[in-house]
Structure 1
Amino acid sequence: MSWRARLERHANRLWYETQTPGLAYRALERLYRRFAKQRFHRPSGRPPVPVIVVGNLCVGGAGKTPTVIALARRLAARYRVAIISRGYGGHSDNYPLAVGPETAIAEAGDEALLIAREAGVPVWVDPERSRALQAAIEDSAAEVVISDDGLQHQALARSFEICLFDGHRGLGNGHLLPAGPLRQPRSRLASVDLLLVKGAGFSLPGAEHFELEAIGFRDLDGSLTEPLEAWRGREVDAVCGIANPEGFADTLERLGLKVRLHAFPDHHRFLARDFAGLDRPVITTAKDAVRIEAGMLGLPLRVLEVLAALPESVYQRIESHIEEFA
């Protein structure tokens, strides 16, 4: 196991299984609060067009990328939509970078590349999100911009904020980094426009709930191959490098598969040796699939396709905001 994998496992145990972190962690939490407090409030700037930020208060996966894709698909039916992202894990000498389906993952990063392939709208990445926003408006003529993450990005003006939570993990132990998973204090939620919780088990006043619905398996090339029912009862190797690998395994088990989980660090760049010794069909996530090259393994590989089944009330609130923006 790599040092990154060990560090992530330790952090998840500390944040989600330990109610009271040790004294050393709480001392580091106080330092974090002192030096990061300027990022604990909502930026006051007003963007030139509606900017919808989809982000997290907690470190870890909560269905953010599928939510961004679902929102873009819905809004694109009425508006010219573009998506902006930091492009985590990628690096380019030419920012802001327009990301298309064939952009190199080394430039775009895995999440931005997946969004570009799935959302059907222009995608711009730049570590300085304000420059990506300007490119989306000027070069893509965007009437509405969705920011993939960026809740804590103080330089990005926004008009509507969505904060996501995982229903199983909730707020974890409730502490700030590094003692807990919170990037900002819970009080930050008072200035967020919409709270979204993926799944059951955790709730907040006024929060909307949604599910990630599995719709089928596909090949790496993107074509859906087999219905979910065809895999019920089969033994598989679940391979992923995401923030919440147990959630992926739980999804497969609810579909009736017998799962052996192989978890790698978040945003892991896969190599052929990562699949050595596997003797079952391999199932991975859409985000991981963009980091797996065809021919890496000699076993059947399928990608689990999911969509964010957002309540109609969520779309209505966002569309009302866009119409009222002036």
Structure 2
Amino acid sequence: MSGPDFWHQHNWLSALLSPLAAIYADIHEGKWRRANPQRVDAPVVCVGNLTVGGTGKTPVVRALRDLAAARGLDAHVLLRGHGGRLHGLTRVDWNFHAADDVGDEALLHAQDGPTWIARDRVAGARAAADAGADLIIMDDGFQNPSLVKDFSFVVIDGRTGFGNGHVFPAGPLRERPDFGLGRADAVIMMGPGETPRAVERCGVPILCAGLVPSDPPPEGNLYAFAGIGRPEKFYDSLKDCGGRIVKSKSFNDHHRFSEHELSALRRRAKDFDARLITTEKDYARLPRCWRQNVLVWPVEAAFDNAEALNDMIAPVMDGGGKAA
């Protein structure tokens, strides 16, 4: 979700909505001050953001799970299951569940290892701990005060930053930056761009990362399609790595692809003597019978200073709490 254009500029509409934004932020902060967060029997690392929409949290979560595995830890991922119809506590099974059930992000994580969805984050974390999790990694949930987080990352898109700097609905922010950054242990700037002033002021450690392809692009003509927050980012990355895109088609974020749409895409691809290719998130939302007809191009988070990330998170992964 990239949001309306005025979220990225100061104009009369953002000014008009500012009183509502102030009320929204006050309610959020009041909820945090009244909260009584619960602790579970496993350390919890949260990967969140301060804005509405995607910033690259999911690749960061996958990178953290890899770090945990390298230390011999069984990391479980916990998320809300955005876009899925299942509302109760569920352990996600890639071979059984569909994106309509649990959401596309949950399916991606389930390919990597144990993954849980739960609207009640405390119940989800307890279930993961009871199932043997050495570490629980939250994909989103930074604004949820119910669960104690042992370490919290805030991921910021380098290109869009905090937009116009206003809280929803006047802008893209979920909360006031100073309030959110005051709970963060580190910031991850995803992709090139200017670091927001609020981040520089708060003095929280900053890591820089970017999305890089896990594999080279397939050869031959490619018909690319995507239903993510910024499809152009996918197309540009594919082209920059040598992919020969002859045509592209964009859909809304978290779009559910119908048989009619996919059949039309396949016909158009044949017109260009091309193969269909999409993102991992879009691939997870495809009907199973269509997955053999579509190529997927995975990306992963690459940190400029991977050693700094490892040193930062090691004390929590080893059960010793936050780094000093």
TM-score tier after normalising by the smaller chain length: 0.7 to 0.9
Contact 2:37 2:145 in 1 (8 A): no
Q: How does 1:95-114 map to 2 (within 5 A)?
A: 95-105=88-98, 106-114=100-108
Equivalent residue number for residue 167 of structure 1 = 158
Q: How does 1:171-182 map to 2 (within 5 A)?
A: 171-182=162-173
Matched, 1:52 2:45: yes
Equivalent residue number for residue 314 of structure 1 = 309
Contact 1:72 1:81 in 2 (8 A): yes
Fraction of identical pairs, as percent: 32
Equivalent residue number for residue 222 of structure 1 = none
Distance 1:168 1:42 in 2: 35
> Alignment partner of 1:136: what SS?
helix
Equivalent residue number for residue 70 of structure 1 = 63
Matched, 1:271 2:267: no
Residue 247 of structure 1 deviates from its aligned partner by 1.8
Structure 1, unmatched stretches of 5+, are 1-7, 217-226
Matched, 1:284 2:278: yes
Q: Which has the higher helix share?
A: 2
> Alignment partner of 1:116: what SS?
helix
Distance 2:291 2:129 in 1: 42
Distance 2:140 2:214 in 1: 25
> Alignment partner of 2:214: what SS?
strand
Distance 1:112 1:297 in 2: 17
Contact 1:212 1:308 in 2 (8 A): yes
AA aligned opposite 2:133: A
Equivalent residue number for residue 262 of structure 1 = 249
Distance 2:120 2:127 in 1: 11
Contact 1:40 1:184 in 2 (8 A): no
Distance 1:135 1:295 in 2: 32
Structure 2, unmatched stretches of 5+, are none
Write the deviation string for residues 54-93 of structure 1: whole angstroms up to 9, x where unpaired.
1111112221111111111220232222111111111337
> Alignment partner of 1:112: what SS?
helix
TM-score (norm 1): 0.83
Residue 145 of structure 1 deviates from its aligned partner by 0.7
Distance 2:54 2:32 in 1: 21
Structure 1's 145 and 43: CA in aligned 2 closer, same or farther, altered over 3 A? Answer: farther
AA aligned opposite 1:57: L
> Alignment partner of 2:310: what SS?
helix
Aligned residues: 299
Residue 41 of structure 1 deviates from its aligned partner by 6.7
Residue 236 of structure 1 deviates from its aligned partner by 3.3
> Alignment partner of 2:298: what SS?
strand
Equivalent residue number for residue 153 of structure 1 = 144
TM-score (norm 2): 0.83
Structure 1's 153 and 169: CA in aligned 2 closer, same or farther, altered over 3 A? Answer: same
Contact 1:39 1:152 in 2 (8 A): no
Distance 1:75 1:108 in 2: 24
CA-atom RMSD, angstroms?
2.5
Write the deviation string for residues 111-154 of structure 1: whole angstroms up to 9, x where unpaired.
1111101x23x11111111100010011x211211111100011
Structure 1's 293 and 91: CA in aligned 2 closer, same or farther, altered over 3 A? Answer: closer
Distance 1:184 1:303 in 2: 35
> Alignment partner of 1:76: what SS?
helix
Distance 1:297 1:213 in 2: 23
Which of 234, 238, 253 matches 1:252? Answer: 238
Residue 156 of structure 1 deviates from its aligned partner by 1.8
Matched, 1:325 2:321: yes
Which of 215, 225, 231 matches 1:239? Answer: 225
Contact 1:45 1:157 in 2 (8 A): yes
Write the deviation string for residues 236-287 of structure 1: whole angstroms up to 9, x where unpaired.
3321111222222221232234544422222111112223152343221001
